[in-house]
Amino acid sequence: MSESDAPIRVVLAKLGLDGHDRGLKIVARILRDAGMEVIYLGLRQTTDSIVAAAEQEDADAVGLSMHNAGHMTLAPAMVGALRAAKLTCPVIVGGIVPDDDVEALLDAGVAAVLGPGASASEVAQVVRDAVAAAEASDDATVGGSKVET
Amino acid sequence: MPVLEDQATTTGDDMTQHHDEQARQAYRRAYQAAEKAGRLRDVPFETMSGVPVESVYGEPPYPGQYPYTRGVYPTMYRSRLWTMRMFAGFGTAEDTNTRFKEILRNGGTGLSTAFDMPTLMGRDSDSQWALGEVGRAGVAVDTLADMEDLFADIDLSGVSTSMTINGPAAIVLAMYIAVAEKGGVARADLAGTIQNDIFKEYQAQKEYIYPPRPSVRIVTDMIRYTSAEMPRWHPISISGYHIREAGSTAAQELAFTLANGFAYVEAAIAAGIDVDEFAGRLSFFFNSHSDFFEEIGKFRAARRIWARWMKERYGAADERSMLCRFHTQTAGVSLTAQQPENNIARVAIQALAGALGGTQSLHTDSYDEALALPTEKAARIALRTQQIVAHETGVANVADPLGGAPFVEWMTDEMERQAEAVFAHLDELGNGSILEGVYAGIENGYFVGEIADAAYRFEREVNEGRRMIVGVNAFTDGNEEGGADILRIGNEVEDLQRKRLAGVKHQRDSEVVARALAAVTEAASSSDTNLMPPILDAVKTYATLEEVVMAMEKVFGTYVEKAII
């Protein structure tokens, strides 16, 4: 688990077939410019490949970009796969998500949803807050972002 | 109505004056021929106040004259307005079929099909990859049965159909042919376009299946097949739209798109097809973004560059081979989720730029597309927007009405200059071949890098407030006002489509399917065999899209992009 002054490590990925990667690439640069370490997996990732990357890279957060209206199926599946692997890192979703879906995604365990038009500073802040919140709840419960098996 | 008779003569030396006079006469003859043949629309060519206007103003070369900067046809919209082609597709094939009929009833003149993500990637609805994406962003097509539903009760000899698909384009075209022939329409009578522009997939849209070289072989097979069998079909729509949406500048969109066009021409020539046999059926697809004059300059430059390169570099002799005819779509990426109704104004301005730029067809985006797929009402407003441009503004009366304006001519030249710099780079990268240059640029990340840099630059400017986007970083009062109604596709579509597919698989003769698929694989491994006939045979057995994709993948392999930020 990263020390509080170590840079935040974020895995960024497109889950599934959706190829719209403009937003995710911009987010990658925004987070890098904000001092974070970005592990950019790119296109056509599966929940398994993202879990593997999050484990290997000791990621503090997973960012998914979704533009094909598959978020209600895929985002909860991602949260489920991470938790099944005993990873507590927060999942942040960006892209085209209708307002009415945000609540349901948060209920399904997604840490935050970034809509179109979020500014660079908002993007970085949302990631920082999500990581901080996850670490706080970890300290209270499991005591780490990852449990070795 | 006299054409060009009352207009001031040009200055210049005698030679120029003589030449100009010849061009004027040629234009007049072409226009009058169209008039005599009854090819002009039956509307008054005058202003709202009753002032008659001529079909073109200013200096030669005129529309329909090389290098076609001012338009591809002499009469332009006086003969025929641009085709109002609205892209649609969602849910099951039946849902989209209903939307198609609605479009035709509302005065739309062409059909345009959006496929869902699994279909675009050559996956069936029952694939693990398809989870959550079936029927969401377009219509799901797994087998010929879906295509039959999609075009049910539509006379395919009477419409022109555009199908936006690339990686599995050959298979979907084969399904379209099969549906038509079942309905008694010969393939030679089919009119339309299949996007089939694989280069921009590696560069921008990312819906590729196979590596570039085998993909281009499929494209050249399709060019050859349609040249021989489908004279009214456009086998590729060379598309800058997605390059722009991915973040490129206007000049990059222009340059990459035309370079891709040159690359297809070189590939087809290398495959032994005569340039004038196919080049006349290549068409283009551009974005119309918000910077009004830059867009108009881009459209004008596209025509001039294409004509010159086709004639001078590729030796085209047929005038049709030199015409850059294009479809335009307003910029989806310019639509804001904030105060979505403002998008109607954006779309109107972008549509006007497309009309002033001389587009052959136009899709206007719906105002709610930053939120979801368009509702029926939003799609209707979008169609109405271009109908207002076409019928109320008077811009359709005069071809290239901005031609000759110093800023417009300068912008056209500037777009051309920037594009030529890109062509020079690619030509060098490919040692004198644009085709090899494009392959190299895909492999070394040139295209994706340039596009990502431009996208980030723009985003930073918006973030820093140097570029104002209404409702995003300025004039945000009203952003809290609650949402537009949006279209929702339920999970039931996915379930329904999977059941349908299972039913089709159950009913077909699996031995016949297997034999047909083996023939596709065999054709793939022999580069002298055209893939289209065995693919057509395979889809007729109700082989699925993914099965046919896999039959070729055995030989061609798959493409995995290097992830570059």
Q: In this structure, is residue B273 part of a structural domain?
A: yes
Q: In this structure, is residue B440 part of a structural domain?
A: yes
- Chain A closest-CA separation from residue B296 CA (Å): 25
Contact A38, B565 (CB under 8 A): yes
Contact B394, B47 (CB under 8 A): yes
What are residue B484's phi and psi, to 5 degrees?
-70, 155
HSE toward the beta carbon, residue B354, CA cutoff 13 A: 35
SS3 B100: helix
> Distance between CA atoms of B294 and B410, rounded to whole angstroms?
10
Tally the domains of chain B.
Answer: 1
Strand partners, B87: B112
Q: Which residue has the tokens 């995995």?
A: B560
Strand partners, B88: B113
Strand partners, A12: A40, A63
> Distance between CA atoms of B555 and B517, rounded to whole angstroms?
13
Q: Which residues of A touch B336 (CB under 8 A)?
A: 116-117
HSE toward the beta carbon, residue B119, CA cutoff 13 A: 34
Strand partners, B288: B330
For residue B551, the Cα-to-chain-centroid distance in whole angstroms is: 28
> Distance between CA atoms of B53 and B202, rounded to whole angstroms?
46
Is B132 in Cβ contact with A99 (below 8 Å)? no
Structure tokens at B171: 């298979």
- Chain A closest-CA separation from residue B545 CA (Å): 16
Is B130 in Cβ contact with A117 (below 8 Å)? no
By C-alpha distance, the chain B residue nearest A70 is: B132
User: In a mutagenesis test of the A interface, which of B134, B206, B208, B498 is the best target, namely the one with the most A β-carbons within 10 Å?
Assistant: B206
Which pLDDT tens digits describe chain B residue by residue (565 residues)?
A: 556 765 655 556 788 889 999 999 999 999 999 999 999 999 999 999 999 999 999 999 999 999 999 999 999 999 999 988 777 667 788 888 998 888 788 777 678 898 999 999 999 999 999 988 898 888 999 999 999 999 999 989 888 899 999 999 999 999 999 999 999 999 999 999 999 999 999 999 999 999 999 999 999 999 999 999 999 999 999 999 999 999 999 999 999 999 999 999 999 999 999 999 999 999 999 999 999 999 999 999 999 999 999 999 999 999 999 999 999 999 999 999 999 999 999 999 999 999 999 999 999 999 998 888 888 899 999 999 999 999 999 999 999 999 999 999 999 999 999 999 999 999 999 999 999 999 999 999 999 999 999 999 999 999 999 999 999 999 999 888 866 677 777 788 899 999 999 999 999 999 999 999 999 999 999 999 999 999 999 999 999 999 999 999 999 999 998 887 8
- Chain A closest-CA separation from residue B360 CA (Å): 27
Q: Which residue has the tokens 């329904």?
A: B496
Please state whether the peptide bond connecting residue A116 to the residue before it is cis, i.e. omega within 30 degrees of 0. no
Q: H-type helices in A21-142, by residue range?
A: 22-33, 47-56, 71-84, 99-107, 120-140
Give me the torsion for CA of A121, A122, A125, A129, rounded to 10°.
Answer: 180
Q: H-type helices in B135-186, by residue range?
A: 144-150, 169-182
Q: Which residues of B touch A68 (CB under 8 A)?
A: 117, 133, 136-137
Is A26 in Cβ contact with B371 (below 8 Å)? no
Please state whether the peptide bond connecting residue B67 to the residue before it is cis, i.e. omega within 30 degrees of 0. yes
Q: Give chain A's largest Cα–Cα span.
A: 41
Q: In this structure, is residue B69 part of a structural domain?
A: no
> Distance between CA atoms of A91 and A89, rounded to whole angstroms?
7
Structure tokens at B168: 């599995």
Q: Which residues of B touch A69 (CB under 8 A)?
A: 133, 136-137, 372-373, 489
A9-140 CATH:
3.40.50.280
- For residue B258, give its domain range: 76-463
What interface predicted TM-score (ipTM) does this complex get?
0.83
Q: Which residue has the tokens 């094909």?
A: A68
Rg of chain A taking only CA atoms, in angstroms: 14
* CATH code of B411's domain: 3.20.20.240
Which whole-number Å values give the CA distances from B146 to B74, B127, B233, B478, in the listed order? 41, 16, 22, 43
